[in-house]
């Protein structure tokens, strides 16, 4: 993560640092999802790097204030609610914008936006505060200009994430 110290505006990570962050973030999300929880606010500020000799270079997911259990008892899926917005506008999934209950795939799409921003140094909707306008931009850029600035492998990841629905259990082996 030496990029954190040496990067300049626009703030861009190397491909190595972006992938290292992404792999550890996916692993952290896998553990959270395996426990039955959806984070619902994936953004750069909700990841920290260990600061001891033993944890240096290890990424941790924090801030579970918006997290929600996807399952009730015995892995029975909770009934999804509607007309809610959870998360941070810049990284929120399409479902968050549409007021649809979030699931594991939504955490992954938010992470995809984080990784795209790390690698390219920007997101096209970064300075826009209108939810409807940001949603339209995300729909326009997904599968298009946003992915064109990323390594080709990201296209398969993006496509896989966008195919996930509320009931889906992501296959993290496909993502890593």
Report, as residue numbers or ranges, the catalytic residues.
Answer: 41
How far separated are the first and last CA of the chain, in Å rounded? 18
Taking only Cα atoms into account, the Rg of the chain, rounded to an integer number of angstroms, comes to 16
Q: Which of 135, 49, 23, 40 is nearest to 86 (CA)?
A: 40
104 contacts 38 by C-beta, under 8 angstroms: yes
Backbone phi and psi for residue 59, each to the nearest 5 degrees, phi listed first: -95, 135
């Amino acid at each position: 993560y030496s990029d954190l110290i040496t990067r300049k505006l626009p703030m861009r990570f190397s491909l190595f640092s972006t992938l290292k962050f992404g792999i550890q973030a996916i692993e952290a999300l896998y553990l959270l999802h395996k426990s039955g929880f959806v984070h619902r606010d994936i953004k750069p500020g909700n990841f920290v790097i260990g600061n001891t000799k033993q944890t240096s270079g290890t990424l941790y997911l924090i801030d579970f204030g918006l997290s929600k259990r996807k399952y009730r008892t015995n892995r029975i899926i909770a009934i999804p609610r509607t007309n809610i917005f959870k998360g941070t506008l810049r990284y929120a999934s399409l479902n968050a914008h549409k007021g649809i209950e979030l699931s594991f795939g939504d955490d992954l799409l938010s992470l995809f936006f984080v990784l795209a921003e790390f690698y390219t140094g920007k997101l096209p909707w970064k300075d826009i505060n209108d939810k409807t306008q940001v949603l339209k931009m995300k729909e326009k850029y997904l599968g298009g200009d946003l992915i064109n600035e990323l390594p080709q492998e990201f296209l398969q990841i993006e496509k896989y994430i966008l195919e996930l629905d509320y009931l889906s259990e992501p296959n993290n082996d496909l993502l890593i």
